[in-house]
Amino acid sequence: MLGEFKKFVMRGNVIDMAVGIIIGGAFTKIVNSMVADVMMPPLGLLMGKVDFSNWFIVIKDGAQVPAPYASLSAAQAAGATTLNVGNFLNAVISFLIVAFCIFLLIKLINKLDNLKKTEEPAAAPTTKKCPFCCSEIPLEATRCPHCTSELK
């Protein structure tokens, strides 16, 4: 069983998948930072100085401090139940960016794969069919080894 596990883990596609997951995790952190730190502040400014990370709806006031709350962290510290609309919006935008980047990457890989296929010329044939018995014979043959017919 240990040998089978080692064989499974050392297969190329499992290692490729692990590398992809690690790179995907790092890429997700970059995209999340880009959305939260680069894209949302100007978008919030254009929408009337809205801070998306603090865009929330109070469903139930906290037991310690009643609404209104200055920020999401203040509402959570007070024990309020909230719908975190801004965090959800950040997650949706992050997902769309990651999905678009993956789409572009797959499109690029497919394009390179198609270029690779078109660049490889077809190999010259090394055999031909005997016109009498339809067997595959070498191009240089003057007589068919199967039916012994003379070839032109």
pLDDT in tens, the chain (152 residues): 888 877 776 776 777 788 888 888 888 888 888 877 888 788 778 877 767 778 888 888 888 788 788 888 888 888 888 888 888 888 888 788 878 877 888 888 888 888 777 666 677 888 999 998 999 999 888 889 888 888 87
Does 93 map to a domain? yes
CA–CA gap between residue 122 and residue 94 (Å, rounded)? 45
CA–CA gap between residue 84 and residue 91 (Å, rounded)? 11
Give the total number of structural domains in the chain.
Answer: 2
Tell me: do 6 and 33 sit in the same domain.
Answer: yes
What are the b/e assignments for 51-83, b being 16+ CB within 10 Å? ebbbbbebeebbeeeeeebeebeebeebebebe
- Residue 118: helix, strand or coil by DSSP? helix
Tell me: do 94 and 148 sit in the same domain.
Answer: no
pLDDT at 63: 80
Does 55 map to a domain? no
pLDDT at 98: 78
- The pair of structure tokens assigned to 107 is 């499109």
Domain of 6 in residue numbering reads as 2-50+84-120
What are the b/e assignments for 11-31, b being 16+ CB within 10 Å? eeeeeeeeeeeeeeeeeeeeb
Tell me: do 20 and 43 sit in the same domain.
Answer: yes
For residue 143, what is the DSSP state? B
* pTM attached to this predicted model: 0.54
- Residue 57: helix, strand or coil by DSSP? strand
- The pair of structure tokens assigned to 19 is 């590398």
Tell me: do 151 and 115 sit in the same domain.
Answer: no
Does 63 map to a domain? no
